[in-house]
């Protein structure tokens, strides 16, 4: 069985570690809208979260970056007064960024860089960036566009937020293998990632949404909202910015019946309904890998109904 | 009094810390032939040795790089199998390289980068790269050119060495201020740096040698060879490659009477003679800053004779 998973960073990585347990062939299509260039380094936070988590190198407690991380370079950059100082640039992480930046500068596409980095991390799933083209999520705040990382990491989303734009998306092409994997999938899952800034950028790459709608495989989403609140991150602020209700139904409606065949919600949201979509409820807390695998198995089963 | 010093890295930095003690206005013209790009980072070893040493940030025991250095990024790069693995890329150092690489990529000349970095380090002398253009010392070994860093750091000079070439030197221009400083100097000193790979690249930048010859100020060199051996580094291998005697006289002859007015040698080499050049002897071991300052003062005094 071939399972395709659309995923963002931390939540997506956690979900994928459960999917991987099921023993299927897994292709993860990962958001690159968070990608950013800082201090001359090209940084791909969601790809790295998935790679480090599945490769056993992630810091589980902090939730992002490398286990055993140190911060020498960051402190030294601050001593030079080099901006920005608010981004969490760990020493171990920097080695990854150096390899990536150098490979990109040499003309390699991002998908080839991911493959090369995964030679070390062996994530056990096929990791594809949503696109090899540069797409960046920007946030319009008080008439100015700032990078999503600045909005998220520096301001914690606590600035007047008008909307999110996926700069470069209109001209982007899906990375090699993305459309093929979707067309050949037996099941397609949308991880419980932020629908506005993790999943929407993937859907904004021309061709991806159409491929999902046309795919013979069922598409099942797992709700990132449990009992009216996001499991992690700032999906609530993001959804409110779009005027969407912060509920399992709200996110289900956002994806909608054209995209979704099934929508898996938490038992706390058992009453959720999405017009034209089969909704099923089960506990969605990804407490450990076994439980997460059970969630993923139920999502696949929901698609087969 | 305005003193101009031509200098390489570690020995040059040590010598400059003595010159600085004399309280004159000092301009250091520093070799950039050792510069290299590794892991996408532009690295300027001699400029950094001088900057860290005069700025109080150098590791005195190791002789190069930053005090309190850590090696996390280097270990991680090795874990990715990223070459080269033989170069000493410290975490603290990397922050300097990141600032430099980013500033160069933004279009700043190297001299502007040095000035910006010195905002932090405050070396107390005016530091000028010999050129803003890219000049790299390559070593011809068994018919192949390798970068000087590879020859020095990786092979410790222990490969058949035919000659040294300063790639890019013919088309290079002296950095802004270099020729002006030489013309306006009251004394010009050649630090006891490696004559073949630290001082020669500076002299190979078109215009520098002519400016030194034409300068009204006397030019005095301090011998890097004491009693037939280099104080540090591999000047002996370098000199032998050129067929030059590894003696104070040999190096004095290499610079020659057109360039030199005075040649300061160690008391162990009191018998040294260089045709057309006033030779003087005194202890040249730079045991501490006060002694190094006394050596520099004697060099200046030799020029005034």
| Per-residue 3-state assignment (H helix, E strand, C coil) for A235-275 | HHHHHHHCCCCCCHHHHHHHHHHHHCCEEEECHHHCCCCEC
Mean pLDDT of A38-61: 96
Mean pLDDT of A35-48: 97
- B73, B82, B99 ranked by CB distance to A80: nearest: B99
Please check whether residue B250 is in contact with residue B244, taking contact to mean a CB–CB distance below 8 angstroms: yes
Residues 67-86, chain A, touching B (beta carbon < 8 A): 70, 72-73, 75-77, 79-82
Nearest alpha-carbon partner for B250 in B234, B229, B268: B229
pLDDT at res. B232: 80
DSSP symbol at B19 = H
Domains of chain A: 2-38+125-139+167-304 (3.40.50.10680)
pLDDT at res. B284: 97
Contact between chains at A102 and B76 (C-beta distance less than 8 A): no
Cα separation of A179 and A130, whole Å?
A: 10
Contact between chains at B91 and A98 (C-beta distance less than 8 A): no
Cα separation of B188 and B175, whole Å?
A: 17
Q: What is the pLDDT of residues B111-129, one digit of tens each?
A: 999 999 999 999 999 999 9
pLDDT at res. A121: 98
Residue B47 class from Cβ within 10 Å (0-12 exposed, 13-18 middle, 19+ buried)? Answer: buried
Cα separation of B253 and B251, whole Å?
A: 5
pLDDT classification of B239: cutoffs 50, 70, 90: very high
- Would an 8 Å CB–CB cutoff place B39 in contact with chain A? yes
pLDDT for B275 beyond 90: yes
Mean pLDDT of A167-181: 98
pLDDT for A61 beyond 90: no
Residue A186 CB partners (closer than 8 Å, separation 6+): A1, A2, A3, A24, A217
pLDDT classification of A233: cutoffs 50, 70, 90: confident
Q: What is the pLDDT of residues A86-105, one digit of tens each?
A: 998 999 999 999 999 999 99
Please check whether residue A168 is in contact with residue A205, taking contact to mean a CB–CB distance below 8 angstroms: no
Contact between chains at A99 and B105 (C-beta distance less than 8 A): no
DSSP symbol at A176 = T
Q: Suggest the residue from A89, A94, A121 to mutate for an interface test with chain B (most B CBs closer than 10 A).
A: A94
pLDDT at res. B56: 96
Helix axis angle for A91-105 and A110-121, nearest 10°, is 140
pLDDT for B61 beyond 90: no
Dihedral (Cα; B191, B192, B196, B202), 10-degree rounding: -10
- Beta-bridged to residue A264, according to DSSP, are A222, A280
Mean pLDDT of A138-153: 94
pLDDT classification of B231: cutoffs 50, 70, 90: confident
Cα separation of B177 and B112, whole Å?
A: 12
Cα separation of A280 and A298, whole Å?
A: 9
Q: What is the pLDDT of residues B188-218, one digit of tens each?
A: 999 999 999 999 999 999 999 999 999 999 9
Q: Does residue A23 have a cis peptide bond before it, meaning omega lies within 30 degrees of 0? A: no
**Cβ neighbour number for residue B61 with a 10 Å cutoff:** 6
Q: Which residue of A has its CA nearest to B120?
A: A80
Q: Suggest the residue from B91, B92, B117, B119 to mutate for an interface test with chain A (most A CBs closer than 10 A).
A: B91
Q: Suggest the residue from A91, A92, A96, A100 to mutate for an interface test with chain B (most B CBs closer than 10 A).
A: A91
- B80, B81, B98 ranked by CB distance to A40: nearest: B98
pLDDT at res. A62: 87
Please check whether residue B248 is in contact with residue B230, taking contact to mean a CB–CB distance below 8 angstroms: no
Angle at A4 between CA A179 and CA A234, to 5 degrees: 105
Q: Where are the alpha helices (DSSP H) in B37-90?
A: 45-55, 72-79
Look up the pTM and report it: 0.95
Mean pLDDT of B242-265: 96
Contact between chains at B105 and A76 (C-beta distance less than 8 A): no
Residue A216 class from Cβ within 10 Å (0-12 exposed, 13-18 middle, 19+ buried)? Answer: exposed
- Please report, rounded to a whole number, the percentage of residues in chain B having pLDDT higher than 90: 94
Contact between chains at B95 and A101 (C-beta distance less than 8 A): no
Please check whether residue B269 is in contact with residue B248, taking contact to mean a CB–CB distance below 8 angstroms: yes
Of these ranges, A186-195, A237-246, B234-243, the one predicted with the greatest mean pLDDT is: A186-195
Measured in whole angstroms, the distance separating CA B12 from the mean position of its chain's CA atoms is 5
- Higher-confidence position of B232 and B258: B258
- Would an 8 Å CB–CB cutoff place B107 in contact with chain A? no
pLDDT for A294 beyond 90: yes
Residue B40 CB partners (closer than 8 Å, separation 6+): A40, A98, A101, A102, A105, B101
Q: Which residue of A has its CA nearest to B101?
A: A40
Residue A80 CB partners (closer than 8 Å, separation 6+): B95, B96, B99, B117, B120
Q: Looking up tokens 């004095």, which residue turns up?
A: B252
pLDDT classification of B161: cutoffs 50, 70, 90: very high
Cα separation of B73 and B60, whole Å?
A: 22
Mean pLDDT of A48-76: 95
Q: Name the minimum distance, in Å, from the CA of A287 to any CA of chain B.
A: 30
Residue A297 class from Cβ within 10 Å (0-12 exposed, 13-18 middle, 19+ buried)? Answer: middle
Cα separation of B302 and B220, whole Å?
A: 7
pLDDT classification of A63: cutoffs 50, 70, 90: confident
Q: What is the pLDDT of residues A91-142, one digit of tens each?
A: 999 999 999 999 999 999 999 999 999 999 999 999 999 999 999 999 999 9
- Would an 8 Å CB–CB cutoff place B25 in contact with chain A? no
DSSP symbol at B83 = S
pLDDT at res. B146: 95
B89 phi, psi to nearest 5 deg: -105, 95
Please check whether residue B232 is in contact with residue B152, taking contact to mean a CB–CB distance below 8 angstroms: no
pLDDT classification of A231: cutoffs 50, 70, 90: confident
- Would an 8 Å CB–CB cutoff place B267 in contact with chain A? no
- Beta-bridged to residue B58, according to DSSP, are B66
B48 phi, psi to nearest 5 deg: -70, -40
Residue A254 CB partners (closer than 8 Å, separation 6+): A195, A239, A242, A244
What's the sign of the alpha-carbon dihedral A277, A281, A282, A284?
positive
Cα separation of B12 and B14, whole Å?
A: 5
pLDDT for A234 beyond 90: no
pLDDT at res. B62: 87
Q: Looking up tokens 């998306």, which residue turns up?
A: A169
pLDDT at res. B296: 98
pLDDT for B24 beyond 90: yes
Nearest alpha-carbon partner for A227 in A280, A287, A274, A272: A272
Q: Name the minimum distance, in Å, from the CA of B86 to any CA of chain A.
A: 15
Q: What is the pLDDT of residues A196-205, one digit of tens each?
A: 999 999 999 9
pLDDT at res. A220: 98
Q: Name the minimum distance, in Å, from the CA of A95 to any CA of chain B.
A: 5
Mean pLDDT of B228-242: 88
Q: Which residue of B has its CA nearest to A81?
A: B120
């Amino acid at each position: 069985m071939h399972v395709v998973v659309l995923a963002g960073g931390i939540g997506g990585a956690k979900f994928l570690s459960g999917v991987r347990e099921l023993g299927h062939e897994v292709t993860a299509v990962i958001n690159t809208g968070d990608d950013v260039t800082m201090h001359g380094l090209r940084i791909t936070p969601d790809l790295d979260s998935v790679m480090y988590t599945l490769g056993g190198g992630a810091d589980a407690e902090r939730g992002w970056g490398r286990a055993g991380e140190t911060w020498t370079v960051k402190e030294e950059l601050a001593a030079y007064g080099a901006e920005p100082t608010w981004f969490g640039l760990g020493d171990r992480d920097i080695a990854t960024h150096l390899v990536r930046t150098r490979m990109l500068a040499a003309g390699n596409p991002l998908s080839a860089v991911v493959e090369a980095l995964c030679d070390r991390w062996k994530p056990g799933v096929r990791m594809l960036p949503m696109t090899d083209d540069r797409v960046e999520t920007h946030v319009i705040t008080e008439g100015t566009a700032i990078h999503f990382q600045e909005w998220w990491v520096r301001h914690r989303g606590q600035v007047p937020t008008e909307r999110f734009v996926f700069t470069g998306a209109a001209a982007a092409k899906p990375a090699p293998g993305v459309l093929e994997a979707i067309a050949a999938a037996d099941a397609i899952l949308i991880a419980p990632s932020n629908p506005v800034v993790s999943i929407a950028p993937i859907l904004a790459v021309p061709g991806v949404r159409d491929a999902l709608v046309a795919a013979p495989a069922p598409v099942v989403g797992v709700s990132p909202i449990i009992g009216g609140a996001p499991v992690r991150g700032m999906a609530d602020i993001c959804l409110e910015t779009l005027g969407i209700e912060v509920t399992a139904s709200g996110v289900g409606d956002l994806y909608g019946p054209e995209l979704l065949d099934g929508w898996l919600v938490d038992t706390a949201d058992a009453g959720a309904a999405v017009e034209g979509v089969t909704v099923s409820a089960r506990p969605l807390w990804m407490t450990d890998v076994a439980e997460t695998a059970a969630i993923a198995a139920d999502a696949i089963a929901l698609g087969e109904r």
